[in-house]
Chains A and B, each alone.
Chain A
Amino acid sequence: MNCEGFRQQLDDYVDGLLPEREHQDAELHLGSCADCRVEERRLRVFLAEASGLRREAQPGRDLWPGIAERIEPRAKLLRFVRRGGWLVGVAAAAAVVFALVQARPRPGALPAGAELRPVAAGSVDIERAEAEYVRATNQLLQALNASRGSMSPEAQKEMAELETSVNAIDDALRDVKRALETDPQNNKLNRMLASTHQKKIDLLLKLIRLSSQI
């Protein structure tokens, strides 16, 4: 290897990327060439300085407020879901309906953490239960809408597709309510309405969880 050849290989040699044979040739050349030894030394010193450069730097202004503003919508969403604030109304509604129809709820029909409160006969108000479900559903829908702002266009498209799944449940809710108009005291129908509401809530919760991951 001559000097020109060595200089061409110098970077790879110093980086330890030369194959075995070329590496040995380079070492041999170095052993007998003072100029190339100087050049190699200078490159190593330079690289040592580069690798020793400080890698931390403080920005000239506080960047946090700009960040906080952009992450707040999703933060609100996460706090809302975690708090389970919507839970209270739904649990109460479910308790009312199931107490009314005196039926054991199916496993999974109640949201996790909800408890059946014993309800005195005659104090039941189906309409209030329905209102609780609607309120909880609206809260969840609002939360879902709020999260849209911080999503990328692709994510928003994904979410929009997922949300169409809610339509089948809305159709069912409409059908059950229509049936109830003809037979308002029908226990089975009221139970079916409650469990369909619950399905909608479960689905909305799932969509909210997903929106924080997309």
Chain B
Amino acid sequence: MLRTSLASFLALLPAMAAAEGRVEQRQSAAPDGIVQIDNQAGSIKVIGWAKNEILVAGTLGRRAHGLDLSVSGRKAQISVDTDHPHGTRSDLEVHLPAGSRVEIDSFAAEIRVEGVNGALYADTVNGSIYLAGGFQEVEASSVNGAVEVSGKLKRARVESVNGAVSVKGASGEIQASTVNGQLTVSGARFERASLETVSGGVRFEGDLEPKAVLDAQSVSGEIELFLSPGVSADFRISSFSGDIDNELGPPAKRVSKWTGQKELEFSLGGGGAAVNVETLSGSIGLRKRP
């Protein structure tokens, strides 16, 4: 019994890697299965491909004992085996089936994903996340790192606390938020976008679908929307104590004798899309797209 559990344990270890810690493992996997990746520090690069196979290659940190790649049914797990997960940096490059649902958990690793069209969940604290491609669904969150998403998305929830969040060329539904990082959405055609910060600035540049809804809110951050003058939308803008500068239409009006609250409601191009912007003290700018 004891020997067996030892043998099982040893079987989980890869053959001893070369002195510099390079590893490579591959296993076949379902085309649309779940792949969980756990590497707390270093880097994780994920590339979707057409093969029904997972290939993990990379360099393990000094205090890593090995790489664990195990596939059971439709679920695959990749993790770095170490007793010092935050203290040892490993760099992994993972090729996996493009239709996978990818779940990445890290603390400080930099995460890059491309060519995956299934779902993606990436969670990190100090690392940054860079996602490119047409995901069905994305949830990406960092605390101190930046999060950048580009490509066609059906549904995305993207957030950072202190890092910058940037969404490019996306479509569908977007929820993006930061506490004090800069939030930038550009080149997007989407149906629903919700942009929220506490003290970070918000910059939106793009077109609006006929029935799109754009909500932008900040407490003290500056919100700037760059829209085409030909856009068809109904605007509801308000700030408690910040300035509102409207290059697309009429100026804002003070609505209270006792406070500095300003509001602005107007329509362009016959209306259709909805643009709602609210701040406490952050200034709001509606500008013409360059």
Contacts and interface: CB of A to CB of B under 8 A. Distances in A.
Given A172-B198, A192-B280, A165 B161 contact: yes
B233 interface: no
Contacts of B180: 168
Contacts of B261: 183, 186
A188 B258 contact: no
Interface in B163-198: 175, 177, 179-180, 194, 196, 198
A175 B219 contact: yes
A147 interface: no
B198 A199 contact: yes
Interface string B18-33: 0000000000000000
A184 to B, nearest CB: 11
Nearest to B219: A172
Contact of A108 (B2, B194, B240, B278): B194
A169 B199 CA distance: 8
A123 interface: no
Given A192-B278, A203-B179, A183 B199 contact: no
Contacts of B143: 162, 165, 206
B181 to A, nearest CB: 10
Contacts of A195: 196, 217
Contacts of A179: 240-241, 259, 280-281
Contact of B219 (A56, A106, A183, A196): A196
Nearest to B5: A55
B72 interface: no
A171 B179 contact: no
Name the residue among A106, A168, A189 with the largest chain B CB count within 10 angstroms: A168
Nearest to A203: B161
B7 to A, nearest CB: 13
A114 interface: no
Given A107-B175, A188-B278, A203-B179, A175 B220 contact: yes
Provide the main secondary structure of the chain A interface.
helix
Interface residues of A, number: 30
B217 A168 contact: no
A112 to B, nearest CB: 12
Provide the main secondary structure of the chain B interface.
loop
Interface in A38-64: 55-56
Interface in A7-36: none
A169 B198 contact: yes
A88 interface: no
Nearest to B200: A168
A181 to B, nearest CB: 10
Interface in B76-107: 86, 107
A213 B125 CA distance: 12
B265 to A, nearest CB: 13
A50 to B, nearest CB: 13
Contact of B179 (A55, A108, A168, A176): A168
Interface in B104-137: 107, 125
A34 B107 CA distance: 62
A133 to B, nearest CB: 15
Nearest to A103: B276
B179 A165 contact: yes
B162 interface: yes
Contacts of B256: 183
A210 interface: yes
B168 to A, nearest CB: 21
Interface string A150-173: 000010001000100100110110
Contacts of B238: 188
A176 B280 contact: yes
B215 interface: yes
B240 A189 contact: yes
Name the residue among B161, B238, B256 with the largest chain A CB count within 10 angstroms: B161
Given A168-B179, A182-B258, A214-B107, 5 more contacts: A56-B2, A165-B162, A192-B219, A199-B196, A214-B86
Please list the 4 inter-chain residue pairs (A to B) with the smallest Cβ-Cβ separation, ordered nearest first. A172-B219, A172-B198, A168-B180, A165-B161
